[in-house]
Amino acid sequence: MLDIKVTKTTTPKAKPEGPLRGVGTLFTDHMFLMDYTRGRGWHDPRIVPYGDIALAPSAMVFHYAQELFEGMKAYKNPDGSAYLFRPEENAKRAIVTAERICIPPVPAADYIQAVRALVSLDADWIPSAPDTSLYIRPFIIATEPGLGIAVSKSFLFVIILSPSGLFYTSEDLASIGIWVEDEYVRAVRGGVGAAKTGGNYTAGLASQAKAQSMGYSQVLWLDGVERKYVEEVGSMNIFFKIDGKVVTPALNGSILPGITRDSVITLCRDWGLPVEERRISIDELVAAQKAGVLEEMFGTGTAAVITPVGKLCYKDEVMLISGGNPGPLSQRLYEALTGIQRGMLEDKFGWRVSL
């Protein structure tokens, strides 16, 4: 168990007023820090006032991008108690990412203890209004100074918190347009596509900018080898409802194993819906849409939970999905997941973890 030292701020910030939308623009009073030194391991866990971090310009994270991050949320029950949503899954995924990019993993128990300690200290920052939460961003960066390409000997584990609103409410859940990228790729099998590291997201910025310049919200990525199998959309996993079946790309080493993805699969199977995790080509999607059996398409992720897709553009062909509106399954999943997360519905899977 970590012996976490706590230094409280002497200048607490004002809490946000008015409705919260989106995530990551406002931060709470405190942050968690813990150092790693080769030969000593992880040490000096502490909570301090939120502030800047001093690093050498030659710190390896700046030059070789040895870093990882996670995204999770804390919520308030209607009775005011606070809890986390599936934190053990984030802790396990962080370990997988760490091992892939040669970062010493933080043990899952220590990871969850650190998250709990920080969220408990700043629990008054967890918004209580409907469709709001406290976004939690743990990350690890390489801090050793040096320009030689090597595994860093020192790291810093940081956790910061940001009060946020969901991207939609159940009343205004809206569909977005997606553009299919067939030139650039996000990741390849054998690379780091299944790891939650910043390089995966940097690789998508050019395509994201291109899509937005054409009036589309996100990019649908195809595989990096044959350029025909669907992988992810933007920073989300992707799902389809085809002829009554729920279909999502199988985890293949280049697709991030999303926790919301897993939650959606669990819910669908619990509801008796057939779920297929398999390869699905863009040609199959086009054929399904032309045959009238591509019933729904939606992305899943921590930030927006469920993002319905109403329009898909591939090689200048624009396809409307579900009439351009959120489909009934997207709506049902959104209401079920957010209801469980907010403590409004039964948590039969044990996903909520009290602070």
The domain limits of the chain are 5-165, 176-341
**Within 13 A of 285's CA, how many CA atoms are on the CB side?**
30
Q: How confident is the model at residue 293 (pLDDT cuts 50, 70, 90)?
A: very high
- In the chain, the percentage of residues whose pLDDT exceeds 70 is 97
- Two tokens at 345? 């519905």
Report helix, strand or coil for 154. Answer: strand
Q: Provide the whole-model pTM.
A: 0.95
Q: Which of 52-56, 136-140, 181-185, 261-265 has the lowest mean pLDDT?
A: 181-185
**What pLDDT does residue 341 have?**
92
- Two tokens at 291? 């045959």
**What pLDDT does residue 265 have?**
98
The answer to whether the CB of 214 falls within 8 A of the CB of 179 is yes
Average pLDDT over residues 145-151: 96
Q: How confident is the model at residue 151 (pLDDT cuts 50, 70, 90)?
A: very high
Alpha carbon distance 346, 246 (integer Å): 23
- Two tokens at 319? 């396809």
The C-alpha torsion from 203 through 204 and 206 to 210, rounded to 10°, is 160
Sign of CA dihedral 99, 199, 253, 336: positive
**What pLDDT does residue 168 have?**
56
- Two tokens at 283? 């040609």
- Two tokens at 191? 């690379």
Smallest Cα–Cα separation from 97: which of 151, 43, 139, 44? 139
- pLDDT per residue as tens digits for the range 114-137: 999 999 999 999 998 877 899 999
Alpha carbon distance 323, 308 (integer Å): 12
Average pLDDT over residues 204-217: 93
pLDDT exceeds cutoff 60 at 339: yes
Centre a 10 Å sphere on the Cβ of residue 353 and count the other Cβ atoms it contains.
16
pLDDT exceeds cutoff 90 at 17: no
- pLDDT per residue as tens digits for the range 56-75: 999 999 999 999 999 999 99
Report helix, strand or coil for 52. Answer: coil
Average pLDDT over residues 319-336: 94
Q: How confident is the model at residue 172 (pLDDT cuts 50, 70, 90)?
A: low
pLDDT exceeds cutoff 60 at 170: no
Angle made by CA atoms 319, 323, 325, in degrees to the nearest 5: 110
Smallest Cα–Cα separation from 219: which of 227, 229, 211? 211
Eight-state DSSP code of residue 120: H
**What pLDDT does residue 87 have?**
97
CATH number for the domain formed by residue range(s) 5-165: 3.30.470.10
Buried residues in 267-278 as b, exposed as e (16+ CB within 10 A):
bbeeeeeebeee
- pLDDT per residue as tens digits for the range 82-115: 999 999 999 999 999 999 999 999 999 999 999 9
Do the domains 5-165 and 176-341 sit in the same CATH topology, yes or no? Answer: no
**What pLDDT does residue 23 have?**
74
Q: How confident is the model at residue 140 (pLDDT cuts 50, 70, 90)?
A: very high
For tokens 């001093």, the residue is: 54
**What pLDDT does residue 219 have?**
95
The answer to whether the CB of 155 falls within 8 A of the CB of 36 is yes
Q: Which of 51-65, 73-87, 156-170 has the lowest mean pLDDT?
A: 156-170
Q: How confident is the model at residue 345 (pLDDT cuts 50, 70, 90)?
A: very high
Write the DSSP assignment of 159-225 as a string of letters.
Answer: EEEEEEE-S--TTT---EEEEEE-SS-S--TTTTTTS--HHHHHTTHHHHHHHHHTT-SEEEEEPTT
- Burial of residue 226, with CB atoms counted within 10 A of its CB: 0-12 exposed, 13-18 middle, 19 or more buried: exposed
Helix axes 259-270, 87-100, angle to 10 degrees: 130
Alpha carbon distance 284, 266 (integer Å): 25
What CATH class does 176-341 carry? Answer: alpha beta
Alpha carbon distance 328, 58 (integer Å): 52
